[in-house]
Amino acid sequence: MTYQEVVEKVRTMFGSADVSNIREHLAFQFNITGEGAGAFYVEVRDGKMFIEPYEYHDCDAAFTCSADLLFKLAAGKADPVASVLMGKLKVEGSIDKAMQIKTFLAAHRG
């Protein structure tokens, strides 16, 4: 899978998530390692989600993992806490803001 395919799959997976109830500004950077390596960001502002293939240097939290793990997390097939403890997922920045990612996952699966 190429970097562009990873970004498109994320857009497809999260694009339909209802984030209209999120009133605060959230910005997350995803650093993908291994196959499809690259960085992209997910931003929520004004109740809308934006996913762009660029780095977001002033993000609230940054996640580093493989594309495969990201897709498993999004599908509910991997546990984020266990992934951090096993060293498969690295989280930097505001842990409180990082926990908001659960809202995206729930909205995506919901």
Question: The domain spanning residue 63 has which CATH number?
Answer: 3.30.1050.10
pLDDT digits (tens, 9 = 90+) for 50-107: 999 999 989 999 999 999 999 999 888 999 889 999 999 999 999 999 988 876 666 5
Range of the domain at 16: 3-104
Give the CA-trace dihedral at 62, 65, 67, 70, to 10 degrees. -70
The number of domains in the chain is: 1
Work out the average pLDDT over 2-31.
90
At 30, is the secondary structure helix, strand, or coil?
strand
Residue 72 lies in a domain: yes
Q: Looking at the domain assignment, is residue 109 inside a domain?
A: no
Given a contact cutoff of 8 angstroms between Cβ atoms, the answer to whether 17 and 47 are in contact is no
96 inside domain: yes
DSSP 3-state of 88 = coil
Tell if the pTM clears 0.75, that is, is over it.
yes
